[in-house]
Amino acid sequence: MAEGKWSSLESAVIKSLRKFRDKYLQRDLINTTTGENADKDAITGSCYLESIPVDMQFYVMSFLSPQDLCQLGSTSQYWRSVVRDPVLWKYFLLRDLPSWSSIDHSSMPDLQGLDRPVLDSTESTSPDFMAEYLKGCPACRRRRSPLRPVYSVVTSFLHSLVVHTEPRFAMFGPGLEQLDVSFVMRMMNSPDVLPVAGLPQRQIDGIGSGISFLYNNQQQFNILTLYSTVREERERARAEQHSVQSKLFVTGSAMEPESVDTKYTIIPHVQEVCRVVDGFIYVANAEDLTGCERKDELAQIRAMIDPVWGSSGRPLLVLSIISRAGHSRVPCVYMAQQLHLSRLPNPWLVQDTEAESLNGLLSGIQWLLRELGIVV
């Protein structure tokens, strides 16, 4: 956000807090003079803390975590009302959204509400930005995750003793081919992060068997990597910095006559893959900062996860990937918005990932496995 807009938003927060503080202190003064508050010492102490200049209150709150703010709200009626101020939480959302490392189908905030002018709505009609923040913040989501009961730990151990079919995932997307670090090669050569468990014997004509990995030295899973074209064409396109026409899809007309969006269908070999996999991994190029809508990418994702090939409940993991730490990236929330993931019926998660270090990959794999009911 531009510096001028930040200053305007901070001024709006301070104005909103000052308006509430003045109203609250005026009401407290009336209650005191009419004898409705018997404990004068308590009132004096409370008002002393609450009468700190509003800009200083805001400055202090800007350093607090969401959990700290909620605890602050439990200390008095005044602070309970202050920490629920919608303009304050809109500020926190806009400030912190770019730093969130993941977002999923159940926690995606209402970005349209954030685009509306700050002072356009009254308190009664303003969106609950506090609820939006607490719902979407990764740290808050982890705190809401239930602890594993003892019986699930025992069940997980017994499950590990039983020979079973490993889950299979189809992996595709431009992030596999457009970066200057090969994500797949890093996966295959990082045994300290994700050990390779082997190459399965089963084959899919024209695709192969994929590669099996071991998560947390416990759960084996298989990834079938689907490249858009042959290696020579991919390398030439990357060197010349242009996109390549994917051979995984054939184009057709859109289903809606008025639509200008491209309709894709996957080729027969890929159809066979989509019939047997348990979920999907889409590798999105987060270094593409052009702000495009990525509707073409959405159309290709839809072609892969089309319910005609299998259940619409199969999970979709989107790895929003950059080559290495320090590169500018599209924040995961805005990646979900650009890909229009809210239009999909499948459960999905967007996870920030780095190709060189594989940072973020294990979190994404853990989510995939849990979506399949595998406790890891």
Structure confidence by residue, pLDDT tens digits, 13-56: 899 888 888 887 777 656 655 555 544 444 444 556 677 888 89
- Cα-atom radius of gyration of the chain, to the nearest Å? 25
Q: Is 186:358 a contact under the CB 8 Å cutoff?
A: yes
Q: Is 220 helix (H, G, I), strand (E, B) or coil?
A: strand
**Band of pLDDT at residue 164, cut at 50, 70 and 90:** very low
Strand partners, 220: 214
Residue 153 is predicted with a pLDDT of: 43
pLDDT given at position 230: 79
Buried b / exposed e across 30-52, counting CB within 10 Å, b at 16+? eeeeeeeeeeeeeeeebeeebee
Cα(139)–Cα(155) distance, integer angstroms? 27
Dist. CA 42–CA 32, nearest whole Å: 11
Q: What is the pTM of this model?
A: 0.84
Burial 190-227 (b: 16+ CB within 10 A, else e): eeeebeebeebeeebeeeeebbbbbbeeebbbbbbbbb
- Mean pLDDT over each residue of the chain, to the nearest integer: 82
Indicate the domain borders of the chain: 3-143, 153-371
Backbone CA torsion sign across 33, 36, 38, 44: negative
Into which CATH architecture does domain 153-371 fall? Answer: 3-Layer(aba) Sandwich (3.40)
pLDDT over 60 at 337, yes or no = yes
Kindly report the CATH class assigned to 3-143: mainly alpha
Give me the pLDDT at residue 6, please. 78
DSSP run (H or E) holding 94:
helix 86-96
